[in-house]
Structure formats: structure tokens, C-alpha cells
Structure 1
């Protein structure tokens, strides 16, 4: 029985011809443990493991730089918030300086004409209410309006035949601000249902 061509031994090379390299000698030896891989001298290129290590080092470097940038941004943002809060406090305090000046003026004239002090205090109160309104906190002290739990705090319930049920009969303490931005709700008494 003839041997199939793929299973037979190759013909020996003719006399004087160079022998082809053996396959087991052409393969590079595996690296020893702990030895650093060098670029392949014959090809002049790095092995895939070296490329992966370089990419990993680059990614770690970018990660560390990004982390440092994020920390610097956080610190810069905290300082900016402190500056904004200080600026807002100064603006609010400056808005009330004329109110204090007028209170002192009213007190200095109290000895000369005691009746004039009431008019002066009323003017100063109106000025302070105006400052709060400019800062975004309008005053709410209306009677006869429907009770709104977002703007009113009930401190008493009364029976009033002239008032509609569930309406504000008396404002004991005015409220300032709107529903989302409220300094305090108005303290009111409400007419109850019969």
C-alpha cells in the first residue's frame, strides 16, 4: 500500500545545498521568570506585552492627572462658593444700612417731638419691608383671602358670620416670601365652617 504524500518524509536536500533551519530552533525561547522582555532584535519591534504595559502606564498617568485636575477644580469651586456667600451677605447687609440710619434719626428726634416718633418708625418699617421685597421676599398680610397652607400658618380658628369659611380673618404676624422662597409663613386666624 502506498503512503499518502502528506505522511511521508521529505526528500533529503541535494549534496552541497544548505539545509533549511529546523522549526524547533527558529522559535524564540520563552522568557525566564522575572526577566524584562526586550524588543525583538531581529524584527526591531516590541512584543505585544510591552505595548500593553506602555498603554497601561499611559492610562495610569492620564488617570492620575485627571484625578489631580478634579481635586483642583473642587478646591477652586469651594473658594468660589465662599466668595459668593460673602458677597451676598455684604449686599444684604448694605441694603439694610439706610433702615438703621433712619431708626437712629427717629430716635434722635424722639425727645423733641414724641408724636413724630410714631410717624418715623412707620416710615422706617415701610423702608425695611421695601428692602425685603427688593431681595425677593414680598410681605403677605392680607385678610379676606382663602387660607393657603403654603403661605399661612393657622394659630387660631374663629366663628365669624361675616366671613366665608376657610378664609383669613386676622393676620397676627405677616409672612415674607413666595412658596418656594419663603422666610416665614403668615400667622393667621381663620374662619371655621359652621
Structure 2
């Protein structure tokens, strides 16, 4: 009976394929699969770490910063308003004090004139006139010059007519008499002069 040489067992005696040799199709199909997913590291966050949530956080931080600035601006404005009110009141007090001090010499001279009431009446009149001139000078220094001119043309910005006279020798519209002097000019006018004016034709 002929003897056939026995073939070596492929499962046990197969030698490993040389390195770099191609594997037959199907041998590693059980172990093959999708490539591993790259893992995110601390240095490079994955795509899912950057998204709408981070944008919302940025907007919320910006809103908080704006609100903080707004509150600080309101507080600064309130402090500025209070400081301005205090300074304005202080300036008013200083101005009132300066004005009152300017009139003190006038009062002193009036007191002096009254103390000589029993003396010559002419001297008393002269003293009172001097005090009047002094008071007029104080008002002029404060920016309120006196207006008591006659023979000038009527000016509604400086004159207030209380009566008219018919005088053919005077040009119509001319101030004939000043009943009460006026003080100041333009926006700084304390009062207009009260006058009598020649009648117009």
C-alpha cells in the first residue's frame, strides 16, 4: 500500500509572515474597526468645548461689566450734583456777604447824617446827598449803573412811561422828567426808569 507524505498542519506549523508582507484578505477582519477617536487634551480642547455656551458666557460677562460701569457713572454723577449744589450755595453766600459789606459805609454815613439832624439843614441835605451818591457808586461797581437822564429820546428798554405832557417846545418822544431812576442795562437791569415823555403828534 503506497505511503503518501503527510502535509504539515497549516494551523500549527504555519510560519509567521515576514514583516511588511501583505496579509491575506479576511484574516484580520475580525480585529479591524473604525479608527480610534482622538481624545481631547488639556492643552487643545476638542470641538465640543467651543460652542454656544462659551459665547453666552462671554456676553454675560460683557453685560456685567457694562452694568458695573453704568452704576459707577450714576454714582459719580450724583456726587457731582451734590458737590455743585454745595459750591453754588457757598458762592451765593460769598456774593451776598460782599454786597452787604459794600453797603456798610453807606449805612455809616447815614448814621452820621442823622446824628447832625439838629444842625444846619443845609449841611444835613448835603450829607444825605453825599450818601446817595455813595450808594449810587456802590451799585455801579456791582454792575448796575444809574439812569436818570432827561432830554434823551424815549427807549422802551430803559424807560417806563407813566405820563405824557403836551409841550410844543419839546420834540415828541423826549424824556421830560425822571420820577424814579433806573438801574442796570440789558439782562442786568434791576428796573427801568419811570419817566414823563413829551406827547407825540
TM tier, smaller: 0.7 to 0.9
Structure 1 range deviating more: 42-51 or 81-90: 42-51
1:119 Cα offset (Å)? 0.5
1:73 aligned residue: 80
Separation in 1, partners of 2:119, 2:161? 42
Judged with a 3 Å threshold, the aligned counterparts in structure 2 of structure 1 residues 190 and 112 are, in CA distance, closer, same or farther, namely closer
Q: When the two structures are superposed, what TM-score results if normalisation uses the length of structure 1?
A: 0.78
Larger Rg: 2
Residue equivalent to 2:179: 172
- Where 1:180 maps in the other structure, the secondary structure is helix
**Deviation above 4 Å: which 4+ runs of structure 1?**
43-46
Structure 1 residue ranges without an equivalent (≥5): 1-13, 23-40
Superposed CA deviations along residues 132-165 of structure 1, whole A, max 9, x for unmatched, are 0000000000111111101000000111112111
Deviations 1:103-130 (A, max 9, x none): 0011112223333110100000000000
For residue 19 of structure 1, give the secondary structure of its aligned residue in structure 2: coil
TM-score (norm 2): 0.76
**Compared with structure 1, are the counterparts of its residues 21 and 51 closer, same or farther at alpha carbon in structure 2 (3 Å cutoff)?**
farther
Residue from 95, 99, 104 that aligns with 1:92:
99
Q: Distance in 2 between matches of 1:139 and 1:21?
A: 103
Q: For each residue in 1:90-113, what CA deviation from the matched residue of structure 2 results, as whole angstroms up to 9, or x when unmatched?
A: 010000000000000111122233
1:107 is aligned, of 114, 128, 145, to: 114
Tell me the equivalent position of 2:165.
158
Runs of 5+ unmatched residues, structure 2: 1-27, 38-43
1:191–1:112 distance in 2 versus 1, CA, 3 Å: closer
**108 and 19 in structure 1: CA distance in 2 versus 1, 3 angstrom threshold:** same
